[in-house]
Amino acid sequence: MPLGRRAGAGRRRRWRVLAGVLITLSLLAASAVAVVVLQNDYDLREEHVTLRHGDTTLDGVLALPGSGDGPFGLVVFVHGDGPMDATHDTFYRPTWESFARAGYASLSFSKPGVAGSEGNWLDQSMEDRADETLAAVAWARARPDIDGRRIGLWGASQAGWVMPKVAARDARLRFVIAVAPAIDWQRQGRYNLLAELCRDGASDEERAAALHRRETTLRLLRRGASVEEYRSAIKNIEGPEGSGGNEDMTADRWRFIAKNYTSDATADLRAMRGASVLLVLGGHDTNVDVAETERTYRAILPPETLEVRKFPDATHSLVRHDIERSDTALTLTALFAPRALFADGVLTGQRRFLERLGQTERT
């Protein structure tokens, strides 16, 4: 009997320890959930909106400042490449909140075929994207809570080919915030290819093979080749990717590239001379040649209307370089501290640009 009592007491102690561990884990989990909820709670009033453009309906978000009736200035978001929804998988929200603190609302629509938007974004040319953006601006000007005199654009990467076209057709645009905007599609493609090869430590042979595939692709595009011709030609090129890589190119993607590969923003940039422009560049950008972009913007736009802000620690997406290069750090930061994703000064720098515009308007 004494042995049985000791054994029973031991089991009870183990159960108490286990229960304590489970309670502790539950509390930690609850704390983690609370942190996630808190860090992803923004001082915004988000309104689901729709835009009828042509034969399609686009779903979007209008993010208003947390308080006040307006009318508010407005930043219309123009996406970069890829199938982006209105929030860019929530990535835009810290920027929206920063703009809201300057008294500005933000408007963003999901690309055609993404989330609740109809259509297919891969069917679009840069002119089509400009038409869509102009429709969004016109929609916003009809709202009483938006100040139609204080509307501008925010756009990244591929938006560099879209925003100047919008400015050429809407002289009332007050400002443009251009984040790592592209200039020339073909030069950007070459820069991006070589930058990634260098980053990955490619050999001279791998570099030569990749450039050969690129030149083959351009020749096919120039003569209007089909995606099947492209796949066949690339498959026959020997290189570090075995059978040549890119055999998974879809017909939609090939059609999109064929429509847009001659894009060059140089001539269209002149249309932005009447707007205040903030050019935002990252020091770790492997997608866009930011040195070429800066030279081109400075050569075309008047110095009194152009502000250039460089963030040495930022990547193409303005995320901190040390975070973006680690999948684990990127995931955890996005979940627990999304505002900390951005390089130092990125959010405040854009907000202050808008605040200075407001001060100029009042004087």
- What are all long-range contacts of 320-328, with beta carbons under 8 Å and residues at least 24 apart? 320/344, 321/283, 321/284, 324/284
What pLDDT is attached to residue 184? Answer: 97
CA distance 241 to 261: 23
What pLDDT is attached to residue 13? Answer: 53
Q: Which residues, other chains included, contact 4 with Cβ-Cβ below 8 Å and sequence gap of 6+? A: none
Q: Beta strands of the chain (E only): which ranges?
A: 44-53, 56-65, 72-78, 104-109, 146-156, 175-179, 276-284, 306-315
Q: Is 78 helix (H, G, I), strand (E, B) or coil?
A: strand
CA distance 279 to 297: 8
Q: Which two tokens stand for residue 154?
A: 């925010």
What pLDDT is attached to residue 37? Answer: 43
Q: Are 63 and 45 in contact (CB under 8 A)?
A: yes
Half-sphere exposure of residue 24: CA atoms within 13 angstroms, side-chain side: 6
CA distance 362 to 252: 48
pTM: 0.87
Q: Is 30 helix (H, G, I), strand (E, B) or coil?
A: helix
Question: What average pLDDT does the chain have?
Answer: 89
**Sign of the C-alpha dihedral computed for residues 245, 247, 249 and 255 taken in this order:** positive
Q: Are 296 and 269 in contact (CB under 8 A)?
A: yes
**Mean pLDDT, range 315-338, rounded to an integer:** 94
Q: Find which of 4-13, 36-45, 117-126, 247-256 is predicted with most confidence, using mean pLDDT.
A: 117-126
What pLDDT is attached to residue 41? Answer: 82
Q: Is 57 exposed, middle or buried (0-12, 13-18, 19+ CB in 10 A)?
A: middle
Residue 151's pLDDT band (cuts 50, 70, 90): very high
Q: Which residues, other chains included, contact 28 with Cβ-Cβ below 8 Å and sequence gap of 6+? A: none
pLDDT at 30 over 80: no
Residue 237's pLDDT band (cuts 50, 70, 90): confident
Q: How many CB atoms lie within 10 A of CB 89?
A: 10
CA distance 217 to 205: 18
pLDDT at 19 over 60: no
71: cis peptide before it, omega within 30°? yes
What pLDDT is attached to residue 39? Answer: 47
CA distance 164 to 173: 11
Q: Beta strands of 119-174 (E only): which ranges?
A: 146-156
The lowest-confidence range among 17-21, 143-147, 218-222 is: 17-21
Share of the chain above pLDDT 90, in %: 82
Residue 318's pLDDT band (cuts 50, 70, 90): very high
What pLDDT is attached to residue 86? Answer: 98
What pLDDT is attached to residue 248? Answer: 77
pLDDT per residue as tens digits for the range 89-106: 999 999 999 999 999 999
Q: Are 258 and 224 in contact (CB under 8 A)?
A: yes
Taking alpha carbons only, the member of 283, 277, 275, 318 closest to residue 297 is: 277
pLDDT at 33 over 70: no
> Beta strand 56-65 with 44-53: parallel, antiparallel or unpaired?
antiparallel
Q: Are 158 and 78 in contact (CB under 8 A)?
A: no
Tell me which residue has tokens 């120039």.
222
pLDDT at 240 over 70: no
pLDDT at 40 over 80: no
pLDDT per residue as tens digits for the range 260-299: 999 999 999 999 999 999 999 999 999 999 999 999 999 9
Q: Which two tokens stand for residue 198?
A: 């260098």
CA distance 53 to 51: 6
Q: Are 173 and 152 in contact (CB under 8 A)?
A: yes
pLDDT at 32 over 60: no
- Cα-based angle 198, 199, 201 (whole degrees, multiple of 5): 65
pLDDT at 134 over 80: yes
Share of the chain above pLDDT 70, in %: 85
The lowest-confidence range among 14-23, 289-298, 299-308 is: 14-23
What pLDDT is attached to residue 348? Answer: 97
pLDDT at 3 over 80: no
**Mean pLDDT, range 310-334, rounded to an integer:** 95
What pLDDT is attached to residue 238? Answer: 56
Q: Which two tokens stand for residue 362?
A: 């009042």
- Helix ranges (DSSP H) in 200-304: 204-222, 227-235, 251-260, 290-300
pLDDT per residue as tens digits for the range 71-93: 999 999 999 999 999 999 999 99
What pLDDT is attached to residue 27? Answer: 52
